[in-house]
Amino acid sequence: MNLHKKHNILKLFIFFTLFITILSFSSILYATSEAPYVASPSCILMEYSTGKILYEKNSDEVMYPASTTKVMTAILTLENCEMSDIVTISHNAVFSIPSGYSTASLRVGEQLTAEQLLNVLLIPSANDAAVALAEYIAGSVESFSSMMNTKAIEIGCKNTHFVNPNGIHDEEHVSTAYDLALIGRYALQFPEIKEIVAKTEYTLPITNAYDKEDRIFRTTNSLIKEDNSTKPSNYYYEYATGLKTGYTEPAGHCIISSAEKDGVTYIATVLGGEISKEDLLDQRFLDCKKLFEFAFNNYSVKSINKSGDVIDSIVVPNATEETKNLKIKLKDDINLLLDNDTSLKSITPTIDFSFNIDAPIQENTILGTATYTIDGVSYSSEILSANSVERVDFMPWVFRIVLGIFIILFAMTVFKPSKKSKRKGNYRKKSNHRRRK
């Protein structure tokens, strides 16, 4: 092969390699172009019912949670109090709050219900209400913080440590976007929390220590405020349902937010947000809107199987010929959160039986579970027998065999020729032989 041909082959090889590389790079860009741009340094997007993570950015980075801490305080309040419990405000609850932090203007000795304190805790982010609840439940802020950390571990948090019930800055008071999303997800199981965080305004009533109704508070969550006088249309998101904002100078602008559409709820946590220099907008709210739109535009809940659907059939040992084919059905509906491009035909369950399948089996017997796994998230339902299976009754067969053998033996005994009959037969044969001679 001459040098010219070798040179041409080399050029073709280089061209082909570049072409493949460009195609690959283009596909990567296309695949990631659908993901939203999040300006804040840490965030996560999670589906509520499954905990499936759809997007994350530095979600395990340890950061300051600020007042998103109060979601955990609300959880422990609902798990340890009745909403009608009367809480007496202590001197510490009123005077331990540093200047510049939000309060509900509570008075020493004032008596309020746990429900009223929860409202001012979550809507205007009252720090004095957090201390009052902590002291009522645990006796002290320190003891309550210990309860918070125990609960965080129970929920599944990996990098969270609380030292107070309100998020007032402390170097050792830390969490992550992932952990706070778990806390938010846990909180949404309480109807009381869902109802409170959806409110845009709340007024404390006249009490034993305050004789006016001028303590009117508005939510700090601009995602649910349709009429925002400062930026009328920049932050409001029609599907937003809560949850809790936070801010300190070291923590930046933080939020655990939630949104619901078509029966699907998402949780978006954003930490360390800033006010953008270009347009002076709060990045955390804009980032949440982008995350929610990404979720609602690219994912949906699809029904794979309904309760009662037959998903498999097996042959049962020791069953009668007529009933040996056992049909397996689902006890519950299986609805999966899927990327809109996912084909349902590619999704099949893993079936696990909880015992050795053998006849007899009654209809609607619980047999085990069927599990569908998508992107590391499992969806399960118990499986039931869709029909009864009867066992082969071996005793009649044994009886028939024994009876048959008995009849054969009896017949052989009855019809067996006697010795006398044999002798007569022999004598006749001899006599006939002599006559012929």
pLDDT, one tens digit per residue, over 195-243 is 999 999 999 999 999 999 999 999 999 999 986 555 456 999 999 999 9
Handedness of CA 77, 83, 84, 89 (dihedral sign): positive
DSSP code for 235: S
Instruction: Note the pTM of the prediction, 2 decimals.
Output: 0.78
Whether residues 53 and 120 fall in one domain: yes
Q: What count of other Cβ atoms lies within 10 Å of the Cβ of residue 384? A: 18
Q: Given the DSSP bridges, would you call strands 366-374 and 377-385 parallel, antiparallel or unpaired?
A: antiparallel
**pLDDT tens per residue across span 35-65:** 899 999 999 999 999 999 999 999 999 999 9
- Listing DSSP states for 382-420 in one string gives EEEESS-BPBP-HHHHHHHHHHHHHHHHHHHHHTSPPHH
CATH number for the domain harbouring residue 149: 3.40.710.10
pLDDT at 80 (0 to 100)? 98
Q: What mean pLDDT do residues 179-196 have?
A: 98
pLDDT at 416 (0 to 100)? 66
pLDDT at 409 (0 to 100)? 83
**pLDDT of residue 399 exceeding 90:** no
| Residues 6 or more apart whose Cβ sits within 8 Å of residue 339 | 298, 299
Looking at the domain assignment, is residue 143 inside a domain? Answer: yes
Query: Please, what is the end-to-end C-alpha distance for the chain in angstroms?
Result: 117
CATH number for the domain harbouring residue 336: 2.60.410.10
* pLDDT over 70, % of the chain: 84
Domain boundary among 299, 315, 335: 299
Looking at the domain assignment, is residue 234 inside a domain? Answer: yes
pLDDT at 8 (0 to 100)? 55
Which residue bears the tokens 């508005």?
Answer: 218
Confidence of residue 405 (pLDDT cuts 50, 70, 90): confident
Whether residues 311 and 425 fall in one domain: no
Looking at the domain assignment, is residue 189 inside a domain? Answer: yes
pLDDT at 41 (0 to 100)? 98
Q: What mean pLDDT do residues 141-148 have?
A: 98
**pLDDT of residue 20 exceeding 50:** no
Confidence of residue 3 (pLDDT cuts 50, 70, 90): very low
CA distance 383 to 30: 41
Whether residues 211 and 349 fall in one domain: no
CA distance 143 to 155: 19
Take residue 46 and report the two structure tokens written for it. Answer: 């999670």
Whether residues 264 and 351 fall in one domain: no
| Residues 6 or more apart whose Cβ sits within 8 Å of residue 91 | 108
Confidence of residue 341 (pLDDT cuts 50, 70, 90): confident
Confidence of residue 27 (pLDDT cuts 50, 70, 90): very low
CA distance 165 to 148: 8
CA distance 239 to 289: 10
Looking at the domain assignment, is residue 121 inside a domain? Answer: yes
pLDDT at 403 (0 to 100)? 73
**pLDDT tens per residue across span 127-139:** 999 999 999 999 9
pLDDT at 227 (0 to 100)? 66
Q: Smallest Cα–Cα separation from 295: which of 252, 264, 326, 249?
A: 264
Q: What mean pLDDT do residues 379-383 have?
A: 94
Whether residues 136 and 219 fall in one domain: yes
CA distance 267 to 197: 13
DSSP code for 221: -
Residue 147: what are its φ and ψ, rounded to 5°? -65, -40
**pLDDT tens per residue across span 73-119:** 999 999 999 999 999 999 999 999 999 999 999 999 999 999 999 99
Confidence of residue 265 (pLDDT cuts 50, 70, 90): very high
| Residues 6 or more apart whose Cβ sits within 8 Å of residue 214 | none
Q: Given the DSSP bridges, would you call strands 216-218 and 201-203 parallel, antiparallel or unpaired?
A: antiparallel
Confidence of residue 389 (pLDDT cuts 50, 70, 90): very high
CA distance 33 to 58: 19
Confidence of residue 402 (pLDDT cuts 50, 70, 90): confident
Least confident piece of the model among 6-20, 58-72, 123-137: 6-20
**pLDDT of residue 144 exceeding 70:** yes
Give the count of domains, the chain.
Answer: 3
Looking at the domain assignment, is residue 411 inside a domain? Answer: yes
Looking at the domain assignment, is residue 407 inside a domain? Answer: yes
429 or 205, which is more confident?
205
User: Domain of 202?
Assistant: 42-299
Whether residues 81 and 168 fall in one domain: yes
pLDDT at 7 (0 to 100)? 53
Contact 223, 239 (CB under 8 A): no
**pLDDT tens per residue across span 270-319:** 999 999 998 999 999 999 999 999 999 999 988 888 999 999 999 999 99
**pLDDT of residue 30 exceeding 90:** no
Q: Smallest Cα–Cα separation from 55: which of 279, 285, 284, 299?
A: 299
Whether residues 287 and 311 fall in one domain: no
Contact 369, 386 (CB under 8 A): no
Residue 103: what are its φ and ψ, rounded to 5°? -140, 170
